[in-house]
Amino acid sequence: MDRTLFGDNQFFGVNHMSEEKGRAQAMRFQNIKAVIEVLESAYAVGIRTFMCTTHERMAEVCDHFRANRERYPDYRFYPCLPYAHKYANAAAELGIIEAVRSFLPSENAASALLRGGIALASKDIEALAELLIDAELKMFRGLTIPVVFLQNVATDFLLGLGFDEAFRIFAHCVRTRYGAEPGFITMNAPALLRKLNALGLEQPIICTNINKIGFRMSGEPAAYDDLMRGGRCRLIAMSVFASGSLRPEEAIEYVCSYTSIESIVFGASSRQNIIQTKQLIDRYTVSNSHETTR
């Protein structure tokens, strides 16, 4: 994985500290051209990986990158699924069964619907999961997707239910059907890692909140410290700025002090902030690597 990953929260008005700022960002990025301009700014400073949800508007972004492959020959997407809001809205409107059917792949629709019906009738969760993952990833066809993530809303729901087998099903499907690595986004990384290891998933890719003040980090601080020093998983740090509560330099210096953190994902809506963050990550990554080798 690259050291620096670019996220998409800002494009859909997600701001954990300010609803007003979130609304303003959502309005700004209603035009897909504004989204592409920000992604191109990130690409210009060397950020080659876009970690994004499967929001329906991402299909337009994918179309752009497919149509302009020669401009972005080394660009990668890290899809994060499912986009829970669309399932919740569909379930409220159509009911759970019809909502699931509505998201099945459209190619060979009769076959897909039949398979979906069989899966639902027999409670064949694995077959149904494959269908839904196929549907979610359809927009990324022809693009490079080395890692596919299970969103935290699903990861932590399954973790709370104790349905650990779902993690194995997801990992198996992603590896066998897409040749990609499975990743897991969570708000409780220590608890998730124990479950994944018990399933035989060694060195899993885990994306979780990591920041100096413990903002939105569930679990004991000591458990996180052990996680970040232990090297038992491939860590991606998110929410490193604690939604604006930390100064950029302070935030990045803290995260980079843990050399076991493999990647850092952040979102930004201006070229200046993208450049500043990328430079800080590069600077403290180099500085800490020198410290480690002394």
Q: Is a pLDDT exceeding 80 seen at residue 99?
A: no
Q: What is the pLDDT of residues 227-260, one digit of tens each?
A: 998 889 999 999 999 988 999 999 999 999 999 9
Q: Is a pLDDT exceeding 60 seen at residue 107?
A: no
Domain ranges for the chain: 4-80+149-293
Interacting residues of 261 by C-beta distance below 8 A, sequence separation 6+ = 210, 228, 235, 236, 237, 255
Distances 28 to 33, 38, 145 between C-alpha atoms, Å? 10, 11, 27
> How far is it, in rounded angstroms, from Cα 27 to Cα 228?
37
Q: What is the pLDDT of residues 206-228, one digit of tens each?
A: 999 999 999 989 878 888 988 99
> How far is it, in rounded angstroms, from Cα 156 to Cα 234?
18
Q: Give which of 149, 223, 222 is closest to 186, Cα–Cα.
A: 149
CB atoms within 10 A of CB 15: 18
Interacting residues of 7 by C-beta distance below 8 A, sequence separation 6+ = 51, 52, 238, 265, 266, 267
Range with the largest mean pLDDT of 99-103, 156-160, 281-285: 281-285
Query: Global pTM?
Result: 0.86
Q: Is a pLDDT exceeding 60 seen at residue 111?
A: no
Of the options 3.40.50, 2.40.10, 2.30.30, 3.20.20, the CATH number for the domain spanning 4-80+149-293: 3.20.20
Tell me which of 94 and 27 has the higher pLDDT. Answer: 27
Tell me which of 205 and 219 has the higher pLDDT. Answer: 205
